[in-house]
């Protein structure tokens, strides 16, 4: 039997997708790319196909698929190019696939990620929005199918590394008191509050420590990213929201910590480079080279910690509120945030209006139980409609 693992990379043209392919390329004896997907940036997707020779590529629509198919055929590749959301699910659940990197951004990643989970794959989860939206349904599907879910988000990957192997018995049972979720505080950690009304998308996307896609960069600036991660941590580690404390740590060297009842606190450290959690999850339970430079503690010199200010970062409060409410509230929060962030990136609203939109959506739409994927998608659609109405009333 071949030892080569077949990998599907959903969102291959994005920041996480490219980092994943970088790690995979260092280990051709272990990994083979089975499928690559991309929504835009067709030229980049073509280049990636030429380099990794996948069996399948998936684009947004028939037109772009035909274009890519033509280019790949002309280059002598046998890659089959498919189009659309159903094809994303097909290449995730395909019987030949061993592991799926879920690195599509936002709600668009939910169904292909769930398809990988339901097919019992090893699922490397970067697409936190998928888990935030569908929470319990997602985790139940993991249990049912026997999928192996490994967190790629650096914080959750760190927590996973600091927990004992049998943490699924329950945090209390393995002696965990709380989880300390670190946050850089983003580019506006010290910006005078009044100036936040004027900040631009470029400023919001200029993250001090991490280079990431635009949506997650804005989420980091508003700290909604940490709010989504709080909800993500609750589902991944079966924690209650009060068991997860957010700690601002501007150097982004400690990627999170676990506090045990005996007073021990375990942390995972490393340079802020996503190739570390990606390599960890790809090879788990083994370790492989990721290409990340060794951590130089003498260069880091100091580690600082601060309590987050919820006046400055209202999104953190809103996310905690949604985590406590449960049901459809996290899906509403996520969808309202996606609409608001897109509007901010298009300069239709000011930065602090992101939180105002989410607040209004959460206040006007009661949380309901979510017992099916249909209910999750309905909550997502309602929140998008409400946020859209807000934009029509107040947006530019
Ligand atoms: P990105 O914007 O760089 O890439 C997103 C990818 O998704 C691209 O390949 C794009 O083509 C694809 N995509 C976008 N819309 C799509 C749609 N409607 N249908 C199908 N595909 C679509 O984003 P990123 O920074 O790589 O983040 C990806 C995910 O990983 C996000 O959920 C993010 O929160 C999470 N994450 C990212 C980082 C990071 O360092 N970048 C860290 C932790 C978690
Ligand atoms: Mg993170």
Q: For 191-219, write each residue's pLDDT tens digit.
A: 999 999 999 999 999 988 888 999 999 99
pLDDT at site 2: 56
Q: Quick one: which ligand is closest to 15's CA? A: 1
Quick: pLDDT tens for 263-287: 999 999 999 999 999 999 999 999 9
Q: What is the CATH number of domain 5-151?
A: 3.40.50.720
Is 156 annotated for ligand binding? Answer: no
pLDDT at site 211: 85
Quick: pLDDT tens for 329-348: 999 999 999 999 999 999 99
pLDDT at site 24: 98
* Residue among 9, 11, 290 whose CB has most ligand 1 atoms within 8 A, to mutate: 11
Distance 354 CA to ligand 2 centre (A): 20
Q: Is the pLDDT of residue 53 over 60?
A: yes
Q: Is the pLDDT of residue 49 over 90?
A: yes
Q: Is the pLDDT of residue 1 over 70?
A: no
Report the percent of the chain where pLDDT is more than 90.
97
Confidence of residue 9 (pLDDT cuts 50, 70, 90): very high
Is 215 annotated for ligand binding? Answer: no
Is 13 annotated for ligand binding? Answer: yes
Cβ proximity of 325 and 182 under 8 Å: no
**Which residue owns the Cα nearest ligand 1 atom 20?**
39
**Which residue owns the Cα nearest ligand 1 atom 41?**
212
Is 249 annotated for ligand binding? Answer: no
**Which residue owns the Cα nearest ligand 1 atom 36?**
126
Quick: pLDDT tens for 134-148: 999 999 999 999 999
ipTM of the complex: 0.99
Distance 15 CA to ligand 1 centre (A): 7
Quick: pLDDT tens for 220-244: 999 999 999 999 999 999 999 999 9
pLDDT at site 395: 84
Report the percent of the chain where pLDDT is more than 70.
99
Q: What pTM did the predictor assign?
A: 0.98
Q: Where are the domains of the chain?
A: 5-151, 326-396
- Ligand 1 atom with the shortest distance to the CA of 16: 26
Rounded to an integer, the average pLDDT of 168-180 is: 98
pLDDT at site 207: 87
Ligand 1 pocket (Cβ < 6 Å) reads 11-17, 38-40, 103-105, 108, 126-129, 153, 210, 212-213, 215-216, 274
Is 153 annotated for ligand binding? Answer: yes
- Ligand 1 atom with the shortest distance to the CA of 210: 40
| Mean pLDDT computed over every residue of the chain | 97
**Which residue owns the Cα nearest ligand 1 atom 31?**
105
CATH class in words for 326-396: mainly alpha
């Amino acid at each position: 039997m071949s030892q080569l693992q077949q990998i599907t990379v959903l969102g291959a043209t994005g920041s996480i997708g490219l980092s994943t392919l970088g790690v995979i390329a260092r280990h051709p004896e272990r990994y083979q790319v089975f499928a690559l997907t991309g929504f835009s940036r067709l030229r980049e997707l073509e280049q990636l196909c030429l380099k990794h020779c996948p069996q399948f590529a998936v684009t947004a629509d028939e037109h772009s698929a035909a274009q890519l198919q033509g280019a790949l055929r002309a280059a002598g590749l046998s890659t089959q190019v498919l189009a659309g959301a159903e094809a994303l699910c097909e290449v995730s659940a395909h019987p030949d696939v061993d592991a799926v990197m879920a690195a599509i951004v936002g709600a668009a990643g939910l169904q292909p990620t769930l398809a990988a989970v339901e097919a019992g794959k090893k699922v490397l989860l970067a697409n936190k929005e998928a888990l935030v939206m569908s929470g319990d349904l997602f985790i139940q599907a993991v249990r049912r199918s026997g999928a192996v879910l490994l967190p790629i988000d650096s914080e959750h990957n760190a927590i996973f590394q600091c927990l004992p192997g049998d943490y699924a018995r329950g945090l209390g049972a393995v002696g965990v008191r709380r989880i300390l979720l670190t946050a850089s505080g983003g580019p506006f950690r010290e910006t005078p509050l009044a100036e936040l009304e004027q900040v631009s998308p470029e400023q919001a996307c200029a993250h001090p420590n991490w280079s990431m896609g635009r949506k997650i960069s804005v989420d980091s600036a508003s700290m909604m990213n940490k709010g989504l991660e709080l909800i993500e941590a609750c589902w991944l580690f079966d924690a209650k929201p009060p068991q997860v404390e957010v700690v601002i740590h501007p150097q982004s060297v400690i990627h999170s910590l676990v506090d045990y009842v005996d007073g021990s606190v375990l942390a995972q450290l490393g340079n802020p480079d996503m190739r570390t959690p990606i390599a960890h999850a790809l090879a788990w339970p083994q370790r492989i080279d990721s290409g990340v430079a060794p951590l130089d503690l003498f260069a880091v010199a100091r580690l600082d910690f601060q309590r987050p200010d919820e006046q400055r970062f209202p999104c953190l409060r809103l996310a905690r509120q949604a985590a406590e409410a449960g049901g459809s509230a996290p899906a509403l929060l996520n969808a309202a945030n996606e609409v608001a962030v897109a509007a901010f990136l298009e300069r239709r609203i000011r930065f602090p209006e992101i939180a105002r939109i989410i607040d209004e959506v959460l206040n006007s739409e009661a949380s309901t139980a979510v017992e099916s994927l249909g209910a999750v998608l309905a909550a997502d659609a309602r929140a998008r409609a409400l946020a859209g109405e807000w934009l029509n009333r107040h947006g530019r």
